[in-house]
Each structure stands twice: as structure tokens, then as C-alpha cells.
Structure 1
Amino acid sequence: MDALLPAGFSVLLLFGLLMLLISALRILREYERGVVFQLGRFWKVKGPGLVLLIPGIQQMVKVDLRVRVIDVPAQDVITRDNVSVKVNAVLYFQVIDPQRAIIAVENFLGATSQLAQTTLRAVLGKHELDELLAERERMNLDIQKILDSQTDSWGIKVTNVEIKHVDLSESMVRAIARQAEAERERRAKVIHAEGELQASQQLAQAAEILGRQPQALQLRYLETLTVIAADKNSTIVFPLPVDILGPLLDTLRQSGARRDV
């Protein structure tokens, strides 16, 4: 019996040491880092691969370095022209400094999400509705720059921000539709007026050329008659120039005056 006790104690001791060794081993993947604390104080960042910790003395917090995606909830935004809209967005960020991400902020994921919501309302509230709808790329860059500068002290890099959806009320949608329709009508009228102006300029140039060469006008008449005759019309309207009718009318007036005398 006395011989069995030391043997059993040795087995228990070996088993305890084995469990202690297993509990001291950590395996970190390629995209993970471990922030190690020794007696409550920061020691170093370890990983990836096999990490050995001293049980009871050292503790480790894992940090994922992959790009994370946060769906920013819909925010009530009042634009600079006093239009109320609901806007939601998508935020992409990555932890680049595990030490600051764990020590500088309590919950970097929640803090980044809350900061994204407030920044979204603040930035979009400085712009009008037309800018919000037509210049989303510029809005995305503005929000990204502000978030990136504020999260830099947390060891977080904001890589991209995308405004996903802008929700308008039914009355505002109808107002925008009327505005777009009025804009299209305005453009149509301007295009029509520009066409009339160009046509009048071309006609004025043609009249000037024909005025310098009366024979050209006669050739145009003959060409017009050729086109009309090709359609096999029974009636042909032939215009007479005013320059020809003028002398003829003067001659008729003079002959009538002589008869009266």
C-alpha cells in the first residue's frame, strides 16, 4: 500500500502538469493576434502560430485583423434645405494596432458603430438633398475621412464607407418627379429654340448667297419643279419671285395711266 501511494501521486502530478501545459498553449490563426497581459499589465502582442502563456500570471485577448463590415442602421437626417430623410450605410474597417484596439477603447466594435451613426447624421446634415442624391461618392469620402481620423487613436483603419439607401417620403418623391418633369420640359424648349436659331441663321446665309446670284434662285426653282414632277402630281404650284412681278406691275400701272390721259 505504501508503494502504491507514491505511484498514484506521481500519476496525478504528471496528469496535473500535462493539463497545466495544455492550458498554457494557445494557437492563433494567420489573421489573429494575441494581446498578452502579465499580472494585469500589457506585455506584448503575439501571433500567429503557437503561443505559450504562464497560467495564472499571463492572460491573452484575441483580436481579429480581417476587414469587418458594419451595417449602420437607418438614421433620421435633416438636410440643409430642411428635408427629412432616412439614410443607412455600410462601414468597412480593419484593426491595424491590436494593442490600442484593446487598451484605448472598451469595445472597439460598438464604439466604431456608434461613431459611424453620429458622423453619418452630422455630415449629411450639412448638404442639400440634391447633393445627397447626386454626389454620393463625395459624401462617402467625407464620412470615411472623418471616421478614419477619429478611430486612428483606437488602432482602427476605416477602409470604406458606402451610403446604401436614401428613403424619402411619398410627398417628397412626387415633388422630385414634378421637378424632374419641369426640368425636362425646360430642356426641350431650350433645344427647340436653339434649333430655330440655327435654322434661321442658315436660312439667312442661304438668302444672302441667293441674293448675290439671281441665277442660283432660278436653278433652285427648276430643281423644285423636278422634285414635284417626280411624284406624278397633276397640279404644280410655281412661285414667282417678287423681283419679276415688281417691274411687270409698274409697266401695267404706266400703261393704265396713259390710257386715262
Structure 2
Amino acid sequence: MLTYLIPIVVVVFILAASVKVLPEYKRGVVFFLGRFQGVKGPGLFFIIPVIQKMEIVDLRTVTLDVPGQDVISRDNVTVRVNAVVYFKVVDPERAIIQIENYGMATSQIAQTTLRSVLGKHDLDEMLSERDRLNDDIQTILDQQTEAWGIKVSNVEIKQVDISEDMVRAIARQAEAERERRAKIIAAEGEMQASEKLVEAAEIMSKNPAALQLRYLQTMSDMSNKNASTIVFPLPLEITKIFEQMRHHSGS
């Protein structure tokens, strides 16, 4: 009885080892005597134990957290930047054959690319143009990992940390910029006001009645502001006579 039982157990063991079931999001890279044979899955399939070997690959998107990297910007400011990379395997064959550990390799190349790309930009660009930098890093990573059967779908710079001294320097720079803009606006206002005054003077010089009305308005304003002051309006014709007399005496 035992002699019949042993072969049955062996056959059951071999069948159990040969039956494989993979879900929709996984694939099996099968090797036959060390040579690549094909990609299996999803669903139920069989492999021959010992003769065939299978490496399982997950096709779902992987969230890779890139640890903080010290980066020296183009304007010589040291910052610490961390990011997150989203990638997935699109070619299981190349992901197993072309690279030993595609997850570790993607992590390492993401760190070096992050330092390389950000080092070509100023601190202001890192803070204000983060979307463009994300696209640049994603494009470079996708090109470099394509040979491994990896697709980098997105890169997000999470945080840019700068020193306290640099924070204070940026605040001083922003304050100086606000003062500069305020002075420019004030100067532009003065220039526009002076242009309007010149235009008004030209109009009044051509129209004596307008000049006379302005003269009377000024007298009225002075009397309202200084109730204790008595103002005697002097006709403009008399001032013209005095001006002509001054010219004659000077000549």
C-alpha cells in the first residue's frame, strides 16, 4: 500500500507546484532551462517544476518616495528637496531581464536626476515654477527608464527647505522690491500730475477768463481755510500793468 501511496503523493506535489494563478495586475516571466520563454497571465496556467522558472511582476503603479536631497541651486543657495515619483512596469520581460532590481534602480536614478535638474535653476524658479520642473524631471526619468520597461507617469516635488538665514534674506528682498515698486508708482503719479498741470497752464494762458476764474477760486479757498485772514482780490489787469512797468524800467 505504501509503495502506491508514495508515487501518488509525488504526482500531487508536482501538479500543485505546476499550477499557477495570477490576478489581473500581475504577470509571470517564464524561463525554460534559463532561457526566456514568454510572459504568462493573468489567470490559470501551468509550468513544469525545475525545468521552468517564473518571476512575478506587479503591473500596478508604484509610489516611490524620493528621500531629501541636498541641492545647490544655480545662484549658489543650498536647499533640501524631497519628491515623489509614480511609475509602473509596462514591459515585464525587460523589467526582469534588463535590470536586476528595477525598483531600486528607479529610486537611485530619481535621486540623481532630481539633483541634476534642480541644480540648473535658481532658487526663485524652484519656488515659483515647480510644475515646469516636475515635467522636466518626469521627462528625463521616463527616457532613462524606458530601456527597463518602466513608465514614469508623474513626478511631484513635495517640499523645498531653505535655511533661516535665507528665509530672512528673501523677506528683506521682497520688502525692498515692494518699496521700489511704491516709489515707481509715486514717481509716475507725480509725472502724470505735472503733465496735467502743464496742460492746464497752457489752456489758461490762452483763455484769460479761465485764468480769472481760477484766481477767484484760489482766493475763495484761502478765505475758507484762514477765517482770520482778510484777502483783498487784486484784478489781473493791474498785475499786467505792473508787469509792463517792470519790463519798461528794466529796459
TM-score interval, normalised by the smaller of the two chains: 0.7 to 0.9
Give the deviation of 1:181 after TM superposition. Answer: 0.9
Aligned mates of 2:201, 2:164 — CA distance in 1: 55
Aligned mates of 2:62, 2:207 — CA distance in 1: 79
Aligned mates of 2:141, 2:10 — CA distance in 1: 50
Q: Please list the CA deviations of residues 132-154 of structure 1 after superposition, one character each: whole Å capped at 9, or x if unmatched.
A: 22222222222222211111111
2:219, 2:233 within 8 Å by CA — same for their partners in 1?
A: no
Structure 2 counterparts to residues 36-75 of structure 1, below 5 A: 36-75=30-69
Instruction: Confirm or deny that 1:139 pairs with 2:110.
Output: no
SS at match of 1:80: coil
Query: Highest Rg: 1 or 2?
Result: 1
Give the deviation of 1:12 after TM superposition. Answer: 5.0
Give the deviation of 1:214 after TM superposition. Answer: 2.6
Do the aligned partners of residues 221 and 238 (structure 1) sit closer, same or farther apart at CA in structure 2, a change above 3 Å counting? farther
Aligned mates of 1:209, 1:90 — CA distance in 2: 68
Where in structure 2 are there 5+ consecutive unaligned residues?
none
Do the aligned partners of residues 156 and 241 (structure 1) sit closer, same or farther apart at CA in structure 2, a change above 3 Å counting? farther
Where in structure 1 are there 5+ consecutive unaligned residues?
none
2:212, 2:236 within 8 Å by CA — same for their partners in 1?
A: no
Q: Normalising to structure 1: TM-score of the pair?
A: 0.81
Give the deviation of 1:213 after TM superposition. Answer: 2.3
The aligned length equals 247
Aligned mates of 1:81, 1:32 — CA distance in 2: 46
Structure 2 counterparts to residues 74-153 of structure 1, below 5 A: 74-153=68-147
For residue 247 of structure 1, the aligned residue among 212, 223, 240 is 240
Aligned mates of 1:43, 1:241 — CA distance in 2: 113
Q: Normalising to structure 2: TM-score of the pair?
A: 0.84
For residue 216 of structure 1, the aligned residue among 207, 210, 233 is 210
SS at match of 1:75: strand
SS at match of 1:174: helix
Aligned mates of 2:176, 2:79 — CA distance in 1: 23
Instruction: Point out the more displaced range, 205-214 or 44-53.
Output: 205-214
Give the deviation of 1:81 after TM superposition. Answer: 2.1
Give the deviation of 1:249 after TM superposition. Answer: 3.4
In structure 2, what residue type is equivalent to 1:64?
D
Structure 2 counterparts to residues 231-242 of structure 1, below 5 A: none
For residue 179 of structure 1, the aligned residue among 163, 173, 182 is 173
Give the deviation of 1:206 after TM superposition. Answer: 2.4
In structure 1, what residue type is equivalent to 2:100?
E
